[in-house]
Structures are given as structure tokens and as C-alpha cells.
């Protein structure tokens, strides 16, 4: 977004855009964010300017805008110059998405009772495997809805691995990089390896770097029940923020510990139920009552936490907010574990899935790089 006007004053670089929005960028910040070859390595795109040697009272002597390329030249004392792009200024002023953002929060399609998806977000296995465009469409479904169903999959472990690699290498956890999921598996003492009902939850609350994406490919099913349940945690959080902002604030501030225990393993981590980013937007939902570790607050704080925690659980257990998906061979499910809760209806018979996790940073990287190709 090209500025209409720029000027240098005592406080910093003042920029006005066509919509009359004006923002002043402090001189220290402008010098620290230079994009000229002396300030930024053009090969690695890493900062070269020595932030800690900049004079805290630095002020520019003059500025000029080249509207042909959108670059702003800044003349500093002692005959130094630097440049910064108008795009970087627009990003910093939140007029454009910055280079790390995937989308604006309002671009996501949140869903719950009263606004459930009319059809499942679906894409075929072949589309994903045959082109980067298909993979991009797949990842954009996940970004928009929080989950996607892959149809016409090949019901083998090998095909699951190849599908996962279209995103990135799988994230390794105590369960391995790729893992089978069935009640017949006795390698881990986890409620997932049973036939019982699993209430909606997020995985890896006991990891500092909780799994970003989770994927299941249905390899075999011979029984009744066992539908996968997906819940949009962002939609539930939005409802609480609108109707009970005090409860939202509690869930965004109280650090909730989690742990995983088995022979030779004791994992532990903590984060709020709602983790916010630096802009104050919701970045991650972490909710798993199975793995919550003991913790104690002062009496009034504890009571307030349980009230807020209970409200989120009430919404997550309301089946009107559930998307129930009966996965069968030829179908796979992938969802954003930082956004969606998942669960399972109880079942009888045999249900064999093969799956994996992906790191959220790897998922985001793949989405950014595929978009850059379009």
C-alpha cells in the first residue's frame, strides 16, 4: 500500500495513506528496520544493522519517497542513509498482513451451533498428491475451517506417510513419528487406545511445543460407532469472549499445567486455555481435562477458574457444536490441534487408524511457501 504523504518530524517518520490513516514510526525503529543492503542481508534476509549501537536519540535529517518502487530513503546524521519499503510500514501499521501472518482472524470460518458447515470441507487424495496447487487448497481448507476430510485415500500405512509428506516431515513425539491407533495397541497407557468415548480435547498439552496438525487415515473398520468428533475451539472461545468477557480473560491468563506419565516418561508443560498472540488475537486453544495436572490458586481465583473452565467444557460437550465424521477406509481426517478439539464416540469391533502429527511452524511454512508460488 503506497503512502500518500511522508514527513520527518522530531518524533519519527510520519506516514499518511490514502484512507487518511496516519502513523508515526519512531526514528530508532525506522533505523532498526532498514531494508537497504547495509541494514539487511539480501541473501539470508537476516538483520545486519547492529541494533545495540544505534543512538537512542537518533533523528533523521530528511526523507524521500520513490513511488516507482515504494522505497523510502532516510538520511541520517554523519552522512549515513538507509531505506525502508512502504510495504513494511503498511504491515507494521496493520494495514496489510505482515510477512509472518497467514490470514486475518476474521478470514477464518468459525462454526458451532447455528452456523455449522453445510458440507464437510473435503478434497481428494489424488488432488493433494498430484500438484502443489492441490496441496495448497488442502492446507487452505484447514486454515479456514480448522479441519479437512481427505476422500478416496489409499488405506495403507505407506500411503499415510506419503500424504503427510506433502506438508512436511512428521513431528516426532513419544508415540513416534507415525503411529497406529487401535484398542489392540498396548504400547502406551492412554485413553485413546481404548474403545470408550473420548470427550473433545486437544492433544499434547503436556508438550511445550504442542502438535500443530493431527491426521488419521482409516486403514480398517469393522464394527459399530466410533465416529470422530471435531469441535471448533475458536468458535467456542469467540462466544465466551462476546457473552462472558470476564471468563474469557481468566482462560487467557491462568496457566494450566498438564502431564503425561508412563514407565520411563514424565512430560510436563503449561499454558493458558486460550493463548493470545502479541496483537491480542487468539492463537491457540489448549484443553484436555484427561491430562490436566494438579495445581492450586488462591480460593477466589480457583473458584473463578473452575467457573470459566466449566463454561468452556459445557460448550465443548454440547453435541450441537459437534461435527461427527464416521471415518471408513478411503477417508482420512486432518485438523488444526491448536484450534479444534477432537473426540471419539465409543465403539465395538475393530477400528485401526494410522496417523501422525505435524509441527505448527512447519504447517505454516508450507502454506506461506505454496502461496508464494501462486
Complete DSSP assignment for 111-127: --TTS--SS--EEEHHH
Distance of CA 374 to the CA centre of its chain: 22
For residue 260, the domain's CATH number is 3.60.130.10
Phi/psi for 272 (5° steps) reads -70, 160
Distance of CA 97 to the CA centre of its chain: 15
Residue 210 lies in a domain: yes
Residue with cell 533523528: 59
**In total, how many domains does the chain have?**
2
Sort 245 into a burial class: Cβ within 10 Å, 0-12 / 13-18 / 19+: exposed
pLDDT band at 189 (very low <50, low <70, confident <90, very high): low
Q: What is the mean pLDDT of residues 54-60?
A: 96
Residue 126 lies in a domain: yes
Q: What is the mean pLDDT of residues 94-103?
A: 82
Rg (CA), the chain: 24
Rounded Cα–Cα distance for residues 181 and 284 (Å): 25
| pLDDT value at residue 193 | 78
Phi/psi for 200 (5° steps) reads -55, 135
Together in a domain, 293 and 323: yes
Together in a domain, 23 and 142: no
With CA atoms as reference, report the closest residue to 288 among 210, 364, 345, 234.
210
Together in a domain, 260 and 206: yes
Residue 176 above 80 pLDDT? Answer: yes
Residue ending a domain, choose from 59, 92, 125: 92
Together in a domain, 165 and 291: yes
Rounded Cα–Cα distance for residues 107 and 367 (Å): 15
Residue 62 lies in a domain: yes
Please report the sign of the dihedral spanned by the C-alpha atoms of residue 266, residue 272, residue 276, residue 277.
Answer: negative
Residue 223 above 90 pLDDT? Answer: yes
Together in a domain, 75 and 128: no
Residue 171 above 70 pLDDT? Answer: yes
Residue 97 lies in a domain: no
Together in a domain, 23 and 139: no
Residue with cell 516431515: 169
C-alpha cell of residue 188: 502406551
Average pLDDT, the chain: 95
**Residues 245-290 pLDDT 10s:** 999 999 999 999 999 999 999 999 999 999 999 989 999 999 999 9
Distance of CA 119 to the CA centre of its chain: 23
Together in a domain, 329 and 190: yes
Cβ atoms of 334 and 150 closer than 8 Å: yes
Q: What is the mean pLDDT of residues 230-235?
A: 98
Together in a domain, 81 and 115: no
Full residue range of the structural domain in which residue 226 is found? 103-374
7: enclosing H helix or E strand: strand 5-8
For residue 33, the domain's CATH number is 3.30.2020.30
| pLDDT value at residue 294 | 97
Residue 44 above 90 pLDDT? Answer: yes
With CA atoms as reference, report the closest residue to 72 among 33, 46, 108.
33
**Residues 302-326 pLDDT 10s:** 999 999 999 999 999 999 999 999 9
Residue ending a domain, choose from 72, 92, 112: 92
Residue with cell 481427505: 150
Across 48-57, 185-194, 213-222, 327-336, least confident range: 185-194
Rounded Cα–Cα distance for residues 212 and 286 (Å): 11
Residue 219 lies in a domain: yes
For the beta carbon of residue 250, count every other beta carbon within 10 angstroms: 22
Residue 186 above 70 pLDDT? Answer: no
Together in a domain, 181 and 296: yes
Residue 122 lies in a domain: yes
pLDDT band at 64 (very low <50, low <70, confident <90, very high): very high
| pLDDT value at residue 188 | 67
**Residues 325-348 pLDDT 10s:** 999 999 999 999 999 999 999 999
Cβ atoms of 229 and 333 closer than 8 Å: no
Together in a domain, 209 and 308: yes
Residue ending a domain, choose from 92, 111, 139: 92
Residues in the chain: 374
Amino acid at each position: 500500500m503506497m503512502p500518500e504523504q511522508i514527513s520527518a518530524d522530531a518524533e519519527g517518520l510520519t506516514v499518511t495513506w490514502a484512507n487518511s490513516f496516519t502513523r508515526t514510526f519512531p526514528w530508532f525503529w525506522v533505523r532498526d528496520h532498514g531494508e537497504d543492503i547495509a541494514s539487511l542481508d539480501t541473501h539470508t534476509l537476516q538483520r545486519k544493522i547492529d541494533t545495540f549501537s544505534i543512538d537512542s536519540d537518533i533523528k533523521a535529517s530528511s526523507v524521500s519517497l520513490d513511488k516507482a518502487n515504494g522505497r523510502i530513503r532516510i538520511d541520517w546524521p554523519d552522512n549515513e542513509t538507509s531505506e525502508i519499503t512502504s510495504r513494511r510500514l503498511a504491515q507494521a501499521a496493520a494495514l496489510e498482513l505482515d510477512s509472518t501472518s497467514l490470514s486475518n482472524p476474521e478470514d477464518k470460518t468459525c462454526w458451532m451451533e447455528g452456523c455449522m458447515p453445510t458440507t464437510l470441507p473435503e478434497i481428494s487424495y489424488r488432488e493433494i498428491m498430484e500438484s502443489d496447487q492441490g496441496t495448497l487448497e488442502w492446507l487452505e481448507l484447514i486454515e479456514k475451517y480448522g479441519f479437512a476430510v481427505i476422500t478416496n485415500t489409499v488405506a495403507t500405512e505407506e500411503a499415510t506417510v506419503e500424504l503427510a509428506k506433502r506438508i512436511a516431515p512428521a513431528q516426532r513425539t513419544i508415540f513416534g513419528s507415525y503411529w497406529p491407533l487401535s484398542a489392540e495397541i498396548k504400547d502406551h497407557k492412554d485413553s485413546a487406545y481404548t474403545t470408550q468415548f473420548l470427550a473433545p480435547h486437544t492433544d499434547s498439552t503436556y508438550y511445550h511445543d504442542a502438535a500443530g496438525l493431527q491426521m488419521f487415515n482409516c486403514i480398517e473398520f469393522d464394527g459399530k460407532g466410533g465416529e470422530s468428533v471435531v469441535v471448533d475451539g475458536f468458535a467456542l472461545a469467540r462466544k465466551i469472549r462476546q457473552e462472558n468477557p470476564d471468563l474469557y480473560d481468566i482462560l487467557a491468563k491462568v496457566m494450566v499445567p498438564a502431564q503425561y506419565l508412563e514407565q520411563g516418561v514424565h512430560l510436563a508443560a503449561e499454558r493458558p486455555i486460550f493463548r493470545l498472540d502479541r496483537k491480542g488475537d487468539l492463537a491457540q486453544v489448549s484443553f484436555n481435562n484427561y491430562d490436566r495436572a494438579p495445581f492450586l490458586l488462591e480460593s477466589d481465583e480457583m473458584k473463578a477458574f473452575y467457573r470459566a473452565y466449566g463454561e468452556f467444557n459445557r460448550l465443548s460437550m454440547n453435541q450441537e457444536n459437534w461435527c461427527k465424521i464416521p471415518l471408513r477406509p478411503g477417508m482420512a481426517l486432518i485438523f488444526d490441534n491448536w484450534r479444534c478439539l477432537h473426540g471419539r464416540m465409543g465403539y465395538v469391533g475393530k477400528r485401526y487408524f494410522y496417523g501422525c502429527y505435524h509441527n505448527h511452524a512447519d504447517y505454516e511454512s508450507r502454506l506461506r511457501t505454496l502461496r508464494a508460488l501462486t
